[in-house]
């Protein structure tokens, strides 16, 4: 994955480049670009969570069709966990908010946010791999493995949420 901050900087239009030379406006422009990069990254995280949730719903449908009712509650809880994460990531504060915001994020704090984002991306990649395995084992009706995998995915999703909440505390300035 390319560095989104670099991509935003490369995608600057002619007007943005001109603005970067105006005294007092350059820092603002740079922080707005960081904010855009932050928003784009969170959008990607939310889209990936939605895709993963849909794959889990496919597994749930298969389990229901094959009357594996003992696992439906567990996978239903996992699907709800993903819905909650999607909302959390989609509607959270974006990094630096401009000139009149109550919350100001400095560049160093944004770099800390990106470290959290990287950890969340790594967790999403791992969860995607686990969901692929879950789909395969669900189709093979290996219910003991399916139960274990659901537990593992729940744990990683909880870790993802912890990372995101820590990220929010940095945004809100309440991280200790």
pLDDT of residue 17: 63
Give which of 98, 128, 119, 101 is closest to 33, Cα–Cα. Answer: 98
Q: Angle formed by the axes of helices 107-139 and 26-65, to 10°?
A: 20
pTM across the whole model: 0.74
Pull the structure tokens for residue 7: 């991509």
pLDDT of residue 106: 66
pLDDT of residue 32: 72
User: Collapsing DSSP states into helix, strand and coil, what is residue 6?
Assistant: helix
pLDDT of residue 13: 66
Q: Which residues of 121-159 are buried (b: 16+ CB within 10 A; e: fewer)?
A: bebbeebeebbeebbebbeeeeeeebeebbeebbeebee
Per-residue pLDDT band at 29 (split at 50, 70, 90): low
Q: Where are the alpha helices (H) located in 24-106, listed in sequence order?
A: 26-65, 69-90
Q: Which helix (H) or strand (E) holds 136?
A: helix 107-139
Other Cβ atoms less than 10 A from the Cβ of 52: the count is 22
pLDDT of residue 170: 77
CB 138 within 8 A of CB 146: yes
pLDDT of residue 173: 64
pLDDT of residue 96: 45
The pLDDT mean for the chain works out to 81
Q: Write the CB contacts of 70 (distance below 8 Å, at least 6 apart in sequence).
A: 143
pLDDT: is 83 or 109 the higher one? 83
What are the tens digits of pLDDT across the range 109-165? 777 877 888 898 899 999 999 999 999 999 887 888 999 999 999 999 999 999 988
Other Cβ atoms less than 10 A from the Cβ of 114: the count is 20
What are the tens digits of pLDDT across the range 145-160? 999 999 999 999 999 9
pLDDT of residue 3: 66
CB 165 within 8 A of CB 92: no
**Percent residues over pLDDT 90 in the chain:** 40
pLDDT: is 140 or 76 the higher one? 76
Rounded to whole angstroms, how far apart are CA atoms 15 and 7?
17
């Amino acid at each position: 994955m390319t560095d989104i901050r670099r991509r935003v900087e490369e995608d600057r239009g002619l007007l943005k480049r001109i603005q970067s030379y105006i005294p007092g406006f350059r820092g603002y422009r740079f922080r707005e670009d960081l904010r855009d990069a932050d928003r784009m990254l969170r959008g990607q995280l939310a889209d990936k969570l939605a895709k993963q949730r849909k794959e889990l719903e496919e597994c749930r449908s298969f389990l229901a069709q094959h009357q594996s009712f003992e696992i439906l509650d567990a996978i239903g809880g996992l699907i709800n966990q993903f819905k909650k994460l999607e909302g959390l990531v989609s509607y959270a504060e974006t990094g630096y908010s401009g000139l009149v915001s109550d919350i100001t994020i400095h560049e160093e704090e944004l770099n800390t946010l990106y470290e959290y984002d990287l950890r969340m991306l790594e967790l999403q990649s791992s969860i995607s791999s686990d969901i692929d395995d879950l789909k395969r084992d669900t189709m093979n009706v290996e219910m003991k493995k399916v139960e274990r995998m659901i537990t593992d995915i729940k744990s990683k999703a909880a870790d993802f949420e912890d990372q995101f909440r820590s990220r929010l505390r940095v945004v809100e300035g309440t991280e200790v």
